[in-house]
Structure 1
Amino acid sequence: MRNQLLHGYLIHHRKYREKSHIVHLFTQEYGRVDGILRQTPPPQFQPIQIQASGKSELKNFSKLEIQQQPIFFHGDAFFCGFYLNEIILRLCPLEENLDLTFSQYALCLAELQHLAERNQDGQFLKQILRQFEHALLQDLGYPIDFNFDAHQNPISAARQYQFHLNEGFLVETKMTNSALTGELILSMHDYIPDREFDAQQLQCLTKLYRQMLTALLGERPLKSRQLWIQHRQIQN
């Protein structure tokens, strides 16, 4: 890159030498981009414009501009934003455009600003998270066939299934906490792209996407999830 103008968000940063920071950005043009910023990093969850130069994986960032007034999240909205950023940092490859994920991330941040007044039953927050995970997994190359199992047999509403990341749905003879009913899986037939998931679809994807993301993330747990659980325990 040479004086490449980027538009995006700060995902994470850490101190680097006396007056510099290593920053991780999520950008509209190149997905995740890492580099060195020789000034105070911008706030998270806030659109920025910045210039990037360099041939290595660690770019030189300059000419930072913050695009709007600061956004401050509290409570569940803060932990949700932390979760989104950690997922991006852990799973998104460097300098690979992820259009769906970037658009959904920006939409999530806008919706999180209204979380307090719209999340009385918890469904609004689930909708935000599942929509983001849905876009991310598609961009990462993990679309799901909800019509057939791993052996190309039609999904049966009366059976139980276990999902395997590199295979698909396999029939499960015993009911386990991680198993999905065929009825839940088939509920995705009625999903219309770019629309909200209904209650049954949310139930299916909440369990399914947690399994998929856990497999992709490996043994190291998400810090945001641990902190979110602690926060909920304190609240209760």
Structure 2
Amino acid sequence: MRGFLLHARPFQEHGLLLDWLTDTHGWLRMRQPGARRVGSRGQKRPPAFVCLELQSAGRGGWPVLKSAEPVEHFRFLHGRRLAAAFYLHELILRALRPDEPVSGLFLDYWKSLAMLEEPGVPVSVVMRRFERQLLEHLGSGIDWGHTADRAPVDPDAGYRVGLQGGIVPDGRTGAIPGRVLLAIAADRPLVSAADRRTARDLMQALLVPHVGDRPFVSRRLWPSAPAEAETAPDSP
């Protein structure tokens, strides 16, 4: 079984409780006894943002992590890219139920990490792409290139979007520009800060039925200094 560490917290006197995104079980929780014991020769906390080959033991309750060996290079994310990765972790933990396989999500998350390593890929594109894919995995995917009546989305027209009704033309002030929908569909960067905020707010509204409306803790990690011009005005 392969997995990515999503979250770790203290458990009992010296242990850790680990949340994983795995290729076979979706979100899986494990125990790691003794991981926080000072001077312990045992296994330390596994690294994040790297795919690990996992071995566990035990039946019933939370299994015990026996080993976690990397199967790829380590990633060292910084600034906005680190904050974005933690945002993806929060999305997964809030959207999934434990031990429920979600086909394809593991590879989509892995690809997102690889994209965050690439300086030329805007952070906002990675986040909107993963949000769109997560909605699809949760059974709430939308055809971003067509309206509910199968007409192509016009980049110069306005629309409203819902999980039930899909994309519907809307000529009122405040409607979502078609260019924003087409950019989300094609994983393209948006030029203006206003369009990026529109895309962010739209995706977060669509995700609310799956992740709730509590603020994301990862937003507190969003650095105040701009890392790149494309994302400077935005947060996750």
Q: TM-score if structure 2 supplies the norm length?
A: 0.74
What is the correspondence of 1:130-209 to structure 2 with a 5 Å cutoff?
Answer: 130-146=128-144, 147-149=146-148, 152=149, 154=151, 157=154, 160-170=158-168, 172=170, 174-176=172-174, 179-182=175-178, 184-185=180-181, 187=182, 191=186, 196-197=187-188, 199=190, 205-209=199-203
The answer as to whether partners of 2:180 and 2:190 remain within 8 angstroms in 1 is: no
CA distance in 1, matches of 2:219, 2:209: 15
- The alignment-based identity, stated in percent, is 24
CA distance in 2, matches of 1:93, 1:47: 21
Q: After superposition, what is the alpha-carbon deviation per residue over 1:165-212, rounded to whole angstroms, capped at 9, x for unaligned?
A: 334335546323xx3135654x37984xxxx43648x95754532321
What is the correspondence of 1:97-116 to structure 2 with a 5 Å cutoff?
Answer: 97-115=101-119
| Corresponding residue SS for 1:58 | coil
Determine the structure 2 residue equivalent to 1:210.
204
Determine the structure 1 residue equivalent to 2:31.
36
Q: After superposition, what is the alpha-carbon deviation per residue over 1:48-105, rounded to whole angstroms, capped at 9, x for unaligned?
A: 1222345545333222323345422211121111111111111122223334321121
The count of corresponding residues between Structure 1 and Structure 2 is 213
Mean Cα deviation higher: 166-175 or 91-100 = 166-175
* Structure 1: runs of 5 or more not aligned: 1-5
Q: Which has the higher helix share?
A: 1
Mean Cα deviation higher: 89-98 or 79-88 = 89-98
Q: Is residue 219 from structure 1 mapped to residue 218 from structure 2 by the alignment?
A: no
Give the CA RMSD over aligned residues.
Answer: 3.2
- Aligned-pair CA distance for 1:44: 0.9
Distance 1:198 1:224, change over 3 A: closer
The answer as to whether partners of 2:50 and 2:74 remain within 8 angstroms in 1 is: yes
CA distance in 2, matches of 1:83, 1:190: 21
| Corresponding residue SS for 2:63 | strand
What is the correspondence of 1:51-130 to structure 2 with a 5 Å cutoff?
Answer: 51-56=55-60, 58-115=62-119, 118=120, 124-130=122-128
* Structure 2: runs of 5 or more not aligned: 36-43
- Aligned-pair CA distance for 1:21: 0.9
CA distance in 2, matches of 1:143, 1:37: 36
Q: TM-score if structure 1 supplies the norm length?
A: 0.74
Q: After superposition, what is the alpha-carbon deviation per residue over 1:6-63, rounded to whole angstroms, capped at 9, x for unaligned?
A: 2111100110112211100011122110121123321111221222345545333222
CA distance in 2, matches of 1:111, 1:156: 27
The answer as to whether partners of 1:26 and 1:33 remain within 8 angstroms in 2 is: yes
The answer as to whether partners of 1:34 and 1:57 remain within 8 angstroms in 2 is: no
Determine the structure 2 residue equivalent to 1:45.
49
- Aligned-pair CA distance for 1:114: 2.9
The answer as to whether partners of 1:104 and 1:131 remain within 8 angstroms in 2 is: no
